[in-house]
Chains A and B, each alone.
Chain A
Amino acid sequence: MSTATLEPRVHAPRNYLNADYGWKSWLFTLDHKRIALLYLVSITFFFVIGGSFAVLMRIHLVEPQGALVQPETYNKLFTLHGIVMIFFFLIPSIPAVLGNFLVPLMVGARDLAFPKLNLLSWYIYIVGGLFTLYSAIAGGVDTGWTFYTPYSSTYSNTQVTAVAIGVFITGFSSILTGLNFIVTIHKMRAPGLTWFRMPLFLWAMYATSIIMVLGTPVLAITIFLLALEHLFHVGIFSPALGGDPLLFQHLFWFYSHPAVYIMILPAMGVVSEIIACFARKRIFGYKIVAFSSVAIAVLGFLVWGHHMFVTGQSVYAGLIFSLLSFLVAIPSAIKVFNWTATLYKGSISYDAPMLYALGFIGLFTMGGLTGLFLASLATDVHLNGTYFIVAHFHYIMVGGAVMGYLGGIHFWWPKISGRKYPNMWAGIAAVIIFVGFNLTFFPQFILGYLGMPRRYAFYPAEFQVLNVMSSAGATVLGVGYLIPLIYLIWSMRYGPVAEPNPWGATGLEWQTSSPPPTENFAEIPVVTEEAYAYAPEEAAGD
């Protein structure tokens, strides 16, 4: 599709963007779509910060003795990269941006169940973010995003308390978002929209919300206890007074492993939507894929012990956690097979969202399978704490969650902004990201197997070649991420106006105008067909 001529913005009909102007209309809005855009801006801001830390680290690691910063500063870089990327970008990204925007639209409601609570969630997120930014400016924190005691509670003299308050507060933002989604999906579905006619994105949001509601409070209390221990040295985590540092790890990972499913499940939901739309086919085994989302959410709570195989955890507990960790891999494998089967006898078009979705499937498969190395006790002894782990979780989070997020942004961009972006540039960006990503993180698998530990500011010389390759890949990846930023912002002003259903997709959000009016639907739609009804016999003209 060639880039349209640059015609000025014709006066569009009333929608949620031009319904009101001025900063008050944004900072005090109760409209879930505007809150989604507030989140979009703030998480992009944090993504740029986290990403710049990553680039600094990769430049530093080009030389064995460290090319850029002092070891203490490097420790602060990887800690803040972890905290900012996980708590302020990955966890909120799809649920808070795409979820907030799309759940009411897909469910056929005018807004989420508790709009005020939704706005409160964003403010809580911002307050938590400010605390974390303060801790970064006022000297940074060097405990690693995992805050392992007794280093974080007794031996670190950096801004542990400030970042602990920041993470503690931001946790409540995702608790309230999860609560909002569960109530909306249960109580506000349009007439005729039964559970098994819902789009799979809603199933993924429902499963993610279960984890957010059940897991995040445990992180809140753990970080609260850590802050108390750091301030008052009461000894529940420091062995000097009889405390057990492993208890902190148990409580921390009880949330933090399900948190990685908070990050990947929404991306799976987005990919289900994109694959169905661009293959013009119903998802193969719809019910199985829906149930596997919930299965991942539930099983995800039983496996956290595989983070602690070498920490002196009992070998019998390790046995149980290893078995359960293998079982949680099964639903993910089922999903991948079902997506691939959906393409069979489909009519596949290669717009940008489809490229991101296919990239997701490839990289998520790699990420998931390398997880088997870490669930198996014998190999985890060798690979734990090395770059193999770093490569594994980046394949899942960057290869999976970020590709899914970008795919979702490109898929629903016409609905969000009412504008279309240049498809050719989007395709180029997708390929650059795919190539840059693999070049960055595949060498780290080999580094990990060779035994290079993670979080090292300087390393033995024999690891340099692979580190230089990884750093080269990081620059390509960084460029890849900048391109969408440019043409998406460009499209908001100059992009061709989008029609209500540019991709010909099914789903209630495509039955209203692009961008939708503030009240979403002139009146509440009634659902009659199954989800993804692309088949010819009910070819409803659209």
Chain B
Amino acid sequence: MSQPIVPQKTYLMVFLCLIGLTILTTGVAFIDLGPYNTVAALAIAFSKMLLVILFFMGVRHSSGLVRVILVAGFFWLALLIAFTMSDYRTRAWTPAPDSWSSTAPPTHP
């Protein structure tokens, strides 16, 4: 792990960005954006995570292998959530009748 030595100023800058993003996400939560509240909260959290991973954990200088492993970890988690959610989202659609020309499935929350 012979990483190059990162100047302290960089760490402070990253820290301030993280604080800013925390304030931002809390502020955005007070505005009602309907379903987009969740999207905004996750996007801000994702960017905070990227900051911590790239700067604090030093993945900027890490080998390609470490990056592949990290991406694989999140990809597998996405697989679990996506496939399980696919079951719940499509459970209300009754199977298409014989003629396959089913009308649009009923809207479901």
Contact = CB atoms under 8 A, between A and B. Distances in A.
Given A218-B80, A301-B76, A301-B79, A317 B86 contact: yes
B95 interface: yes
A302 B83 CA distance: 8
A186 B65 CA distance: 9
B72, B87, B90, B92: residue with the most chain A Cβ atoms closer than 10 Å: B87
B2 interface: no
Interface residues of B, number: 17
A446 B11 CA distance: 68
Nearest to A320: B86
A302 B87 CA distance: 13
Interface stretch (A28-36, A168-176, A308-316): A308-316
B32 to A, nearest CB: 26
Interface string A161-191: 0000000000000000000000000100000
B84 interface: yes
Interface in B93-108: 93, 95
Contacts of B80: 218, 251, 254
Interface string A212-241: 001000100000000000000000000000
Contacts of A186: 65
A320 B84 CA distance: 12
Contacts of A314: 86-93
Given A301-B79, A316-B93, A246 B87 contact: yes
Contact of B84 (A214, A250, A312, A316): A250
Interface string A302-326: 1011001000111111001100000
Contact of B87 (A214, A218, A250, A301): A250
Contacts of B91: 312-314, 317
A247 interface: yes
Contacts of A308: 87
Contacts of A312: 91
B83 A214 contact: no
Nearest to B93: A316
A43 B74 CA distance: 34
B83 A305 contact: yes
A165 B65 CA distance: 34
Contacts of A254: 80, 84
Contacts of B79: 301-302
14 contacts: A247-B84, A250-B83, A250-B84, A254-B80, A254-B84, A301-B76, A305-B87, A312-B91, A313-B87, A314-B87, A314-B91, A314-B92, A317-B83, A317-B87
Interface of A: 186, 214, 218, 246-247, 250-251, 254, 301-302, 304-305, 308, 312-317, 320-321
Given A313-B87, A314-B87, A314-B93, 18 more contacts: A214-B72, A214-B76, A247-B84, A250-B83, A251-B84, A254-B80, A302-B79, A302-B83, A305-B87, A308-B87, A314-B88, A314-B89, A314-B91, A315-B90, A316-B90, A317-B87, A317-B91, A320-B86
Interface of B: 65, 72-73, 76, 79-80, 83-84, 86-93, 95
